[in-house]
A = this chain, B = another copy of it.
Amino acid sequence: MTDVTRDVAEDEEDVYGLTAELVRGVHEAIADGSVARIEELVEPLHAADVADLLEALDPEERRLLIAVIRHTFDPETLSYLDETVREEVMELIGPQELAHAIAVLDTDDAIDLLEDLDEEEKRRILESVPAEDRRALEEGLTYPEDSAGRLMQRELVAVPQHFTVGQTIDFLRASRDLPDDFYDLFVVDPHHHPVGSVPLSRAMRSGRTVRLADIMETELRPVSVTMDQESVAHLFRQYGLVSTPVVDESDRLVGVITVDDVVLVIDEEAEEDLLAFVGAGETDFHAPPIEVAWARVRWLFVTLINAAIASSVILQFEATIEEIVALAVLMPIVAAMGGNAGVQVVATVVRALATRRVSPWSNLWRVVGKEVVVNAINAAVFAAVVGTGAALWFDNWPLGGVLAGAMVFNMVWAGFAGTVIPLTLARLKIDPAIGAGPFLTTTTDVLGFFAFLGLATLFLL
């Protein structure tokens, strides 16, 4: 984010359907109970904008708006909603409309809605869906959460190897059950194994008599239904893919993942990374306060344990502090500098892992070595400045020396721990971003206080 978010007023309003003005208009129309006005304002909006509008309203307004637009409600809107508001809206539109929505949506979006429901509701809704769709949905729900199987849509265009461009075009023109949008034609063998893909742009500019087998891309990168969605996202990023085939255990083509789904995954993962990093837990932005508070408790608790350990370290040096109170004054500097230098390293390593610039199995010592060197450089500079400053401030050169020594120790440690902690978590198959901040600062607080007070006890008493 360089200089963004805030140009909204100037250059964005005209590309978005939902303006601040329109939201105000809807607020007023709802307050006035003017059904005609509400319909007039909401009707031209894109489903994504209706979703944003619903999120901007109070629950009571939301209820009234849904009552008005219920029968013209675009099922796509549900896909764009955050979880909390979505559950509310699904409740409001009722099971019948919901079953309709699920039948209309692409399988990936439909499964997205279904997976949040409890078993009883899920069963009831599925019963009202046409048998053919139902089977696809039930199968989709058997794939693990956040897997390629959940992300893919089953709607795709597969053609046999012997087809020509002309035959394909005729087939597409005659077909009634095609996906809304597709970007590649998948060429399959008689066992329905994908053997190639033809970008539509390539098919369109080839002559009618050209065989698809002669123009197809054979370097397919089919993913398995069980592949994790983040791995899928990385694959798209790595090779600049627009769509990729998904295959089952017997390598048969069962679906396709398109890049627009991947955009959402990348975004979701980025969000999880930042929130996990500070230990804010995963709740959506519209969740009620008590739920948000609960999601954050775990890492506050870890922070508390951390602080308690730091306190008990300090307690060991009570006598030293009683002697030299300046130590209590200066000790937060050691902890803060180590902590900040450490989270800089952790953030760098977490991102390098997320973007596969570093693999958990890559040469640990090469990565560690670099970060230790980086922090040693900064430690040397800051320790010199701060040590001199403290020596002058308290007119006590040994004190300045002890402070500088503790800082160098703590910042170099931060370079080491900031690399080893996330890489070790990754090797243990734990998300390296989870609580990386609190974890790291535990070590820099505890060791920072220990080093500073310990050196002081050794050299200043």
Contact = CB atoms under 8 A, between A and B. Distances in A.
Given A314-B332, A357-B285, A259 B267 contact: no
B304 A329 contact: no
A344 B280 contact: yes
Contact of A347 (B82, B222, B277): B277
Contacts of A55: 357
A113 to B, nearest CB: 16
Contacts of A290: 377
A227 interface: yes
Can you list the 8 inter-chain pairs with the closest CB atoms, starting with the nearest? A270-B270, A328-B328, A4-B230, A280-B344, A200-B200, A172-B205, A307-B336, A307-B333
Contacts of A443: none
A340 B303 contact: yes
A340 B299 contact: yes
A457 B318 CA distance: 19
A310 B328 contact: no
A455 interface: no
Given A7-B228, A8-B231, A266-B270, 5 more contacts: A6-B429, A8-B360, A274-B347, A303-B337, A336-B441
A146 B7 CA distance: 14
Interface stretch (A12-20, A96-104, A126-134, A186-194): A12-20
Interface string A74-113: 0000000010000000000000000000000000000000
A401 interface: no
B293 A374 contact: yes
A231 B11 contact: yes
B183 A347 contact: no
A71 B56 CA distance: 57
A382 interface: yes
B374 A297 contact: no
A363 to B, nearest CB: 10
Copies in the complex: 2
B239 A337 contact: no
A359 B20 contact: yes
A352 interface: yes
Interface in A319-371: 321-322, 325, 327-333, 335-337, 339-341, 343-348, 350-361, 370
A388 interface: no
Contacts of A236: 260, 263
Contacts of A375: 293
Most buried by B among A16, A180, A266, A336: A336
Interface in A269-310: 269-280, 285-286, 289-290, 292-293, 296-297, 299-300, 303-304, 306-308, 310
B429 A207 contact: no
B337 A335 contact: no
Contacts of A337: 300, 303-304, 307
Given A377-B290, A382-B300, A237 B267 contact: yes
Contacts of A16: 235, 238
Most buried by B among A2, A15, A310, A340: A340
B205 A200 contact: no
Contacts of A431: 1-5
A270 B274 CA distance: 9
14 contacts: A11-B227, A169-B205, A183-B242, A237-B264, A242-B242, A274-B274, A275-B351, A289-B373, A292-B374, A296-B378, A300-B337, A321-B325, A322-B325, A332-B332
Contact of A5 (B277, B321, B360): B360
A6 to B, nearest CB: 4
B266 A266 contact: yes
Contacts of A357: 55, 82, 285-286
A9 B356 CA distance: 13
A454 interface: no
A226 interface: yes
Interface string A374-388: 110110011001100
Contacts of A389: 308
A122 interface: no
A433 B8 CA distance: 17
Most buried by B among A201, A223, A277: A201
Contacts of A335: 332
